[in-house]
A and B are shown apart, each in its own frame.
Chain A
């Protein structure tokens, strides 16, 4: 998958943009995300129901994956069953 790819949750409204990724499976609400949203939603796994926030960036511990949430939803993000966490940006002074 290349950076810039937009992935949609099959369990909720979440959409992400891939900034960086490895070869693992990117999931939301416990199910693999897809480039095209299926007509029928899959049930949300309660273990991955913390929700996503618009504009937040989600990363894994190794820094291999980075996703930007472009639409929020009820599911939470994971890769191969391991939850992703929000990335705290290093704020720069506004330069323009």
Chain B
């Protein structure tokens, strides 16, 4: 079954209801479906093996997603922030493609690869103008719906594959059809090449929640659009939330009382920030979503009630829950395993494994699933006694000092209790004696005096164990984050190696 079914059902139930608002233009479900069917004609005529988007979010992303699905060709949104040489290499891997967006750039860096090129405006116009073959049989959806290149922090980017069945399982298992009120509107500001951006489109269309697209995030633009369109829902990465609050602090005014629900994910949410947000928006329900590209988005979530309970509680254990990503979805299985593959008891960190129909765990050249269908996420974490999941960094980020495994997170959490420290990152640094030892990069709060290295070492020694005491400390102006708010630990390693 094809993911285009989601749009077909929305268009069948409410053809004239507005499904998308972008750059001031409003699209009904009927118009979106007609354009997606028009896109099929373009895709088929081009002979493309993939449909690539090299652009910010727009109506073209929605039309291309469903048009590619109906054609039976994988949709492959690309990260337009990549350097020319890296982007050209990715384009080559999906040639010949129908590429929508930055035509000039593709001409400049990949003109000999045989792609069919459309600017956003040309593509949108052509899909609307296309003569749709009324006899056309659309793809059954037994293959690949989406191919997303992972960020490739250590090696060449991997081509993660999501099948129609994975995505439909996620949407049908978590979203009730046409459950949104006609007034509901979801403000979507994540980039189109991120799984959260794609999941937002699919779940909004199926629930019939109007999508309000913000192509390029800026806090002022977000606040303005939220007010104009009376947005009720939004998904943000932590950096976006922090910048929105910063803008409000600086006096930007907007009536955003319509916002009932804010979901966040994609990176670690600083505790201080989420407490602040809960205070600032007492009527808003916050949801923390944890998921990966390879799992078709969310696999665990911490809901609004958990947020409010933890925020209001004096019990440190309850308060700590705000740092959790909540409980696994009822539609998947989740286990924490140690290095020998045994299930870890409550509280003990290990690697997070998941299994379920929404879990693809598949790359173009291989599947990462084990014989029983479990996907090793390479994320480290633990479950508490009540089944709440806590993340503890990437399994690859674990610092191994003389055979002892140390999670950077526990060291960072202790350092963040120091009043002068605004942000910090612990990584492995080479050690002749131990193989690896702990190195930390520290960002000071504005106006705070720099604590001595001895003071920080003592703090760690007193709260953790002596093995966690850093052998290298560097004070930096800021830590390197990517545009989704993910801390780039490999960059911190480089800084500490200098």
Assess whether B5 is in contact with A70, with CB atoms less than 8 Å apart.
Answer: yes
Chain B: number of interface residues, binned into ranges: 35 or more
Assess whether A93 is in contact with B304, with CB atoms less than 8 Å apart.
Answer: yes
Chain A: number of interface residues, binned into ranges: 10 to 19
A29-73 at interface with B (beta carbon < 8 Å): 54-56, 68, 70-71
Assess whether A95 is in contact with B304, with CB atoms less than 8 Å apart.
Answer: no
Assess whether A17 is in contact with B263, with CB atoms less than 8 Å apart.
Answer: no
Q: Given that A54-B177, A96-B199 are contacting pairs, would A6 and B287 also be in contact in the complex, using a CB cutoff of 8 Å? A: no
> A92 in the interface, Cβ–Cβ < 8 Å?
yes
Nearest-CB residue, chain B, relative to A92:
B174
Name the contact of A4 in the complex, choosing from B141, B196, B199 (C-beta under 8 A). B141
Q: Given that A19-B172, A54-B12, A68-B172 are contacting pairs, would A92 and B5 also be in contact in the complex, using a CB cutoff of 8 Å? A: no
Q: Given that A54-B9, A68-B172 are contacting pairs, would A96 and B263 also be in contact in the complex, using a CB cutoff of 8 Å? A: yes
Assess whether A96 is in contact with B289, with CB atoms less than 8 Å apart.
Answer: yes
Assess whether A93 is in contact with B330, with CB atoms less than 8 Å apart.
Answer: no
Name the contact of A92 in the complex, choosing from B142, B196, B301 (C-beta under 8 A). B301
Q: Given that A4-B141, A68-B172, A93-B304 are contacting pairs, would A17 and B5 also be in contact in the complex, using a CB cutoff of 8 Å? A: yes
Q: Given that A54-B9, A90-B330, A91-B176 are contacting pairs, would A96 and B200 also be in contact in the complex, using a CB cutoff of 8 Å? A: yes
Assess whether A6 is in contact with B1, with CB atoms less than 8 Å apart.
Answer: yes
Assess whether B13 is in contact with A54, with CB atoms less than 8 Å apart.
Answer: yes
> A89 in the interface, Cβ–Cβ < 8 Å?
yes
Nearest-CB residue, chain B, relative to A66:
B172
Assess whether B1 is in contact with A4, with CB atoms less than 8 Å apart.
Answer: yes
Docked Cα-Cα span, A95 to B331, in Å, equals: 15
Assess whether B196 is in contact with A96, with CB atoms less than 8 Å apart.
Answer: yes
Instruction: Write out, one digit per residue, whether chain B residues 193-215 have a CB within 8 A of any chain A CB (1) or not (0).
Output: 00010011001000101000000
Instruction: Name the B residues within 8 Å of A55 (CB-CB).
Output: 9, 13, 176-178
Instruction: Name the B residues within 8 Å of A4 (CB-CB).
Output: 1, 141-142, 165, 168
> A1 in the interface, Cβ–Cβ < 8 Å?
no
Instruction: Write out, one digit per residue, whether chain B residues 350-384 have a CB within 8 A of any chain A CB (1) or not (0).
Output: 00000000000000000000000000000000000
> A23 in the interface, Cβ–Cβ < 8 Å?
no
Name the contact of B233 in the complex, choosing from A56, A90, A94 (C-beta under 8 A). A94
Assess whether A95 is in contact with B141, with CB atoms less than 8 Å apart.
Answer: no
Name the contact of A94 in the complex, choosing from B142, B168, B203 (C-beta under 8 A). B203
Docked Cα-Cα span, A4 to B209, in Å, equals: 25
> B485 in the interface, Cβ–Cβ < 8 Å?
no
Docked Cα-Cα span, A4 to B12, in Å, equals: 19
Docked Cα-Cα span, A55 to B180, in Å, equals: 13
Instruction: Write out, one digit per residue, whether chain B residues 134-176 have a CB within 8 A of any chain A CB (1) or not (0).
Output: 0000000110000000000000000000000100100010111
Docked Cα-Cα span, A76 to B12, in Å, equals: 19
Assess whether B12 is in contact with A92, with CB atoms less than 8 Å apart.
Answer: no
Instruction: Name the A residues within 8 Å of B168 (CB-CB).
Output: 4
Docked Cα-Cα span, A27 to B285, in Å, equals: 42
Instruction: Name the B residues within 8 Å of A94 (CB-CB).
Output: 175, 186, 203, 207, 209, 233, 261, 263, 287
Instruction: Name the B residues within 8 Å of A6 (CB-CB).
Output: 1
Instruction: Name the A residues within 8 Å of B301 (CB-CB).
Output: 92-93, 95
> B235 in the interface, Cβ–Cβ < 8 Å?
yes
Instruction: Name the A residues within 8 Å of B165 (CB-CB).
Output: 3-4
> B329 in the interface, Cβ–Cβ < 8 Å?
yes
Docked Cα-Cα span, A19 to B209, in Å, equals: 24
Docked Cα-Cα span, A95 to B233, in Å, equals: 10
Q: Given that A4-B1, A4-B141, A70-B5 are contacting pairs, would A93 and B261 also be in contact in the complex, using a CB cutoff of 8 Å? A: yes
Docked Cα-Cα span, A68 to B175, in Å, equals: 13
> B19 in the interface, Cβ–Cβ < 8 Å?
no
Nearest-CB residue, chain B, relative to A4:
B1
**Taking the nearest CB of chain A, how far is it from the CB of B328, in angstroms?**
11
Name the contact of A96 in the complex, choosing from B1, B8, B298, B330 (C-beta under 8 A). B298
B16-34 at interface with A (beta carbon < 8 Å): none
Instruction: Name the B residues within 8 Å of A93 (CB-CB).
Output: 261, 263, 285, 287, 301, 303-304
**What would 16 more interface pairs be, CB under 8 Å, given A94-B186, A94-B207?**
A4-B165, A17-B5, A19-B172, A54-B9, A54-B177, A54-B178, A55-B177, A90-B330, A93-B261, A93-B285, A93-B304, A94-B263, A95-B287, A95-B297, A96-B200, A96-B298
Q: What is the interface of chain A, defined by CB distance below 8 A to chain B?
A: 3-4, 6, 17, 19, 54-56, 68, 70-71, 89-96
A-B CB contact pairs (8 Å), 9 listed: A4-B141, A4-B165, A70-B5, A89-B176, A91-B179, A93-B285, A93-B304, A94-B175, A96-B298
- Sort A-B residue pairs by CB-CB distance and give the 3 closest, nearest first: A55-B177, A95-B289, A4-B1
Q: What is the interface of chain B, defined by CB distance below 8 A to chain A?
A: 1, 5, 8-9, 12-13, 141-142, 165, 168, 172, 174-179, 186, 196, 199-200, 203, 207, 209, 233, 235, 261, 263, 265, 285, 287, 289, 297-298, 301, 303-304, 329-330
